[in-house]
């Protein structure tokens, strides 16, 4: 790792479309969300142990914020030049829908076994991933509760192909304005929530897709700046230290109205620094095989973890009361391992094969790699073979670097 600025020229050994460190970091975000839910479910009853879990994962809910920023960054970075909008959407649906559909059916079947009441309209809204648009209690957290974030992601997927041609024509100063304005608007949402009814304020700040898209567009703008070699930020060591310091300070002393905006900045710095390290071929702790594998199964892990914990706690009679002594921490560890095993199975036997079956076929030459900072010299981009300067293609335009 290094704390050098992300603009120093260096050679790359990683294909432009692959950013393994970001895959590894997905697991950290999933783990934060898992810890937050383990704490709020009160699995640990012993006060001293519970205090440790609560303190460690007090801001774990922000792991979803990381996912949204990362989603915007990765989708722009890996966007296939000339790809049709419907092809892009088909590719994204093939990624998220098989796992979602499986969990939707499993949760409903288990709910019927428990004789839970079923709201048909909420279940249908959840099936088609439109539940996050409905502020009515019982709708946006319906069926598999964590799938509300997929409802937001689907909205992002629908918007990006239309926004990208415009994005590619924006000046760097405009993109930087998006990066800076997004966390400020996130902070501004807290006083703005008083404009909506009190019972809808949690939905407005935490669920509403338009609001959560601020984080997505923040990642989108940062990725476009890095594609052009215009991103300026700390290296991975410095970005990681900034994140840790922000996390500690936010958890201890910063009011809830501010920490989401601060963490958005910290997350973006880590994401861009890790991506830059991958592009330059530098070793990071996040691109090891175990971390990449954990990142690959993190989507399935995210979808199963709450359902598994709630179901087991209901069956054992410990939901809301927790387990005494060391049984509480051991149960959290057990849930982590069980969820990981189930996620690995879902990733291998559902997610991966269905992506191949449902996704559009890959075509040779379909992807045009972005021009990377590591491929630049003071005179412009460097060709891979002859070292000659060549133009950059952005959404039908040809601009000199």
Dist CA 179 CA 356 (whole Å): 34
Neighbouring CB atoms inside 10 A of 289's CB total 9
Percent of the residues in the chain that have a pLDDT greater than 90, as a whole number: 56
- H/E stretch holding 206 reads helix 201-206
pTM of the model: 0.84
CB-based contacts of 47, cutoff 8 Å, min separation 6: none
C-beta neighbour count of 213 within 10 angstroms: 18
Angle, helices 256-279 vs 63-77, to 10°: value is 40
Give the length of the chain: 401
Contact partners, residue 335, CB within 8 Å, separation at least 6:
34, 38, 43, 305, 308, 309, 312
Residue 44 DSSP symbol: B
Q: Residue 274 and residue 22: Cα distance in Å, rounded?
A: 7
Each residue's pLDDT tens digit, 178-208: 999 999 999 998 888 888 888 888 999 899 9
The domain limits of the chain are 20-399
The pLDDT assigned to 62 comes to 84
Tokens 């994962």 label which residue? 57
- 111-167 pLDDT, tens per residue? 999 888 889 999 999 999 999 999 998 899 999 999 999 999 999 999 999 999 999
Interval 213-249: pLDDT, tens: 999 999 999 999 999 999 998 999 999 999 989 888 8
Given a contact cutoff of 8 angstroms between Cβ atoms, the answer to whether 233 and 183 are in contact is no
């Amino acid at each position: 790792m290094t704390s050098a600025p992300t603009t120093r020229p260096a050679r790359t050994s990683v294909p432009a479309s692959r950013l393994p460190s970001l895959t590894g970091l997905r697991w950290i975000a999933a783990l934060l969300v898992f810890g937050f839910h383990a704490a709020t479910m009160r699995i640990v009853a012993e006060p001293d142990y519970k205090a440790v879990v609560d303190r460690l994962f007090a801001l774990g809910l922000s792991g979803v914020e990381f996912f949204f920023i990362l989603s915007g960054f990765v989708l722009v970075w890996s966007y296939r030049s000339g790809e049709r909008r419907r092809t892009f959407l088909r590719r994204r649906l093939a990624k998220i829908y098989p796992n979602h559909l499986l969990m939707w059916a499993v949760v409903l079947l288990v709910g019927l076994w428990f004789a839970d009441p079923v709201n048909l309209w909420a279940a249908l809204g959840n099936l088609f991933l439109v539940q996050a648009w409905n502020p009515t209690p019982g709708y946006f957290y319906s069926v598999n509760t964590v799938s509300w974030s997929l409802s937001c992601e689907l909205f992002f997927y629908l918007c990006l192909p239309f926004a990208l041609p415009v994005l590619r024509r924006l000046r760097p100063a405009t993109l930087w304005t998006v990066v800076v304005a997004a966390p400020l608007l996130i902070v501004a949402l807290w006083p703005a929530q008083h404009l909506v009814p009190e019972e809808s304020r949690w939905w407005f700040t935490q669920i509403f897709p338009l609001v959560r898209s601020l984080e997505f567009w923040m990642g989108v703008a940062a990725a476009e700046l890095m594609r052009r070699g215009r991103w300026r930020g700390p290296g991975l060591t410095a970005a990681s230290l900034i994140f840790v310091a922000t996390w500690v300070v936010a958890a201890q002393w910063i009011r809830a109205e501010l920490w989401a905006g601060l963490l958005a900045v910290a997350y973006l710095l880590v994401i861009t620094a890790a991506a830059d390290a991958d592009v330059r071929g530098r070793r990071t702790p996040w691109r090891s095989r175990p971390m990449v594998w954990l990142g690959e199964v993190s989507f399935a892990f995210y979808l199963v973890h709450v359902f598994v914990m709630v179901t087991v706690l209901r069956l054992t009679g410990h939901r809301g009361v927790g387990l005494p002594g060391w049984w509480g921490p051991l149960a959290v560890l057990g849930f982590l391992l069980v969820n990981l095993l189930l996620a690995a199975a879902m990733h291998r036997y559902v997610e991966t094969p269905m992506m191949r079956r449902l996704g559009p076929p890959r075509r040779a030459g379909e992807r045009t790699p972005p021009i990377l900072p590591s491929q630049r010299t003071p005179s412009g981009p460097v060709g891979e073979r002859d070292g000659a300067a060549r133009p950059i293609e952005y959404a039908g335009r040809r601009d000199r670097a």
